[in-house]
Every structure is written in C-alpha cells, then in structure tokens.
Amino acid sequence: MKLIYILSLLFSSLFSFTQALIPNPPQLSATSYLLLDAKTLKVISEDNSNQSTGLASITKIMTAYVVADQINKGFLKNDVLVKISEKCWRTEGSRMFVKEGTEVSVEDLMLGVIVQSGNDASCALAEHIAGSEYDFSILMNEYAKEMELEETNFMNPTGLPDVNHYSTAKDIAKLSIRLIEDYPETYKIFSQKEFTYNDIRQLNRNSLLWQDDSIDGIKTGHTSSSGYCMVSSAKRGDMRLIAVTLNSASEKARLRDSRRLLDYGFRYYSTKKILSKYETVSSVEVWAGNQDNLNLGPAEDIYLTLTKPEFNALELVVSKNLGVKAPIEKNDVLDTLDFFVDGQKLKSIDLVAVKAVDSKGMLSSAFEAIGFYIYSFFMQDEVN
C-alpha cells in the first residue's frame, strides 16, 4: 500500500469540522469588483472581475510604476528637472498646477501624479521619458505585457477617456501587487495625505487614508464614462488585502464599497504562515549516498488565507516517496504536500531536498543502486 503521512498543524481542532458559517460578502454599488489577499492571491469576493472597463485615474498606478522602474534602471533621476510644455499645462482634469515653461523635478512631479492625481504632472513625465504621451502609452503597454495583464490597454498616462483605454479589476489588482512588491518606496507615496507645491496645499484624493491607519493606498479615479473607481489596500499583521471597485455609483459609494470589502475580508479571514522555506516536513530514504536519509521541505515560505474555523481543521498530507538514488541536488523536487480542509484539497506544493547529497564510492554506489532498483520494483508492484 502506498504510504501516507498526515501532519496536523499545532492549532488543529480536536473536533470534527463543520463548514464555517459567515455572512455573504457585502452588496456593493460597483458593477465590477475584486477583493483578494496580496500574498496568497486568495480571492475573497468578486463580481465581474474580468469585465473590461475604463480606468480613469487608476491609470496612474501604471504611470507611477513605469517612472519608478525607469529610475531603478538608471534612465532617470529624482532630481532631474522636467520642462513643462504648453500641452501639459493645458491638460484637462485634475491638476498639480505646474506652469508652462517652468522646470519641475521628477520627484515633485511624482508627488503630483500620486497624491494630487495631476494629469499635467503625468503628461510632463510621459513627455520627458518617451517624447509624447502616446509613445509613453506604448511603453506602458509593454510593461502590461510583461506583467501578463491580458485584458489591459493604455492610450495615455492620465486615464482621460479613450475607447481603447481599458482594463479589468483582476488586472488592476495584479498591477497593484507588482507596484507594492517591486517598488515599496514608491508605494509609500500613495499613503502621503498631502503635499505643497508652488504654495498650493494639495490633499490626497483617497479620503480612506484619514479613516483607518491600516489603509495605505492606493488610488481613486473618476470620469463620466468610467464612473467612480477605487483601488484600496490595507495591511493588518501578516495580511494585506487589495480591494478594486470599478464604476461605483458616486464618490461616497466608492468609499463605502471599498471600506465594506476591506472590513469584510479582515473580519472573517486571516493570512498565516504555515511553513517556512526548507522547514522539514518529511524525510526520504537515500540509496547510494553519503547519508541514509534526506529531509524535505518547501522551496519557499507557504502562506494560506482561510477563515478561522478552516485553519482549525487544516491538515497537511504528504505522499511518502519510496526512496531516491544519490546524487541529489539541493532544491530537487522529490515529493508533494497536499493541504486539506474537511476532506477537500485546497492546494498542493512541491517538497524539495533541503540540501545536496553526494554519491558513495563507485563500488558501494553500484551495489546500492542495484538494491534500489530491486526495492523499487517490488514496492511499485505492491502499490499496484
């Protein structure tokens, strides 16, 4: 019979599991929305998350990402001065109030893009980096392709309406996570509540920043065609949630929609570290090696997002490998680990060798190799 080892977490319940009874996700005015955990990508609630829609100023998440990446690659510096063109000065919509012909640093323009949602600042950075807003949008689409944002297309860095400028809640969430992970210093700007430029005090349009200290971003947006949009993120303990609400009914409704999603996620779900990288989960017998047994563990930290009752019922099941023949390299995949709740499999991960194992001398190795093949043959026959 195939050997099965069942590992229970320390916090496993002693009682049989019954399905966690929690309220349904909140009803929202947004026609498209998504709530997920940023680390595990667990979707907690969604509706029409693949529905294509206009972006409005949500676009500026990608604008900020491109600028941050250009700085990181050495193509741009924060203290570089950017000359403001007439076109950027005249750009409609939300503004940082830069003046035609003046020179403004990249750093100040980024504050204008992120905090004030300035279309004029977005235009200026786009022209400086790519020569024109349109050419910058081509660059944005190259970044979108690299991120595998399959339902996204940009036509400008501002989010001003264009029939060919669109995305989905799912793609926007993926973009937001990339920004948070790749450029945390840039992401910090999204939590800045205000800044002053040219003696004009400008407040962040994300008023949730004043309501809850755990909320640290990300971006609001509105046009008549896209409705009221918002991407929110909050971190409590090990759990970071991303809430994307698109085409809400009003400015107040988008705040209410985002807050309801975040509160629901944090109230009923948790994200916990289940296993550390290379933490021993099981061991396997080694043939023809310079040691008899080898510990196996995950190749990375493992986190899960579940309800509290589900964590209490979590079981880890590893299918025992019959044995392996040396040499073995560190990170070689040698087994699998399954995660179950109430008999239902949640996910599977690979278990890898936590260190390398060299072969024995040639003669000993040859004899043990023959023994390993004989052993494997009979064990396989028993399993079948």
Torsion, CA 112, CA 117, CA 118, CA 121, rounded to 10: 50
> How many residues in total does the chain contain?
384
Q: Which amino acid, 291? A: Q
Q: Are strands 227-236 and 239-248 parallel, antiparallel or unpaired?
A: antiparallel
Q: What value does the CA radius of gyration of the chain take, rounded to a whole number of Å?
A: 26
Neighbours of 3 (CB within 10 A): 11
**CA gap 357, 355 in Å, rounded:** 7
**CA gap 170, 63 in Å, rounded:** 18
**CA gap 282, 332 in Å, rounded:** 14
Whether the CB-CB separation of 236 and 266 falls below 8 Å is answered with: yes
**CA gap 37, 46 in Å, rounded:** 12
**CA gap 46, 213 in Å, rounded:** 25
Residue 222 makes CB contacts below 8 A (sequence gap 6+) with 56, 57, 228, 229, 251
- Given strand 239-248, what is the order of strands in its sheet? 43-47, 32-37, 239-248, 227-236, 215-223
Write out the catalytic residue numbers: 57, 60, 117
**CA gap 199, 197 in Å, rounded:** 5
Residue-wise DSSP of 214-247: TEEEEEEEEETTTEEEEEEEEEETTEEEEEEEEE
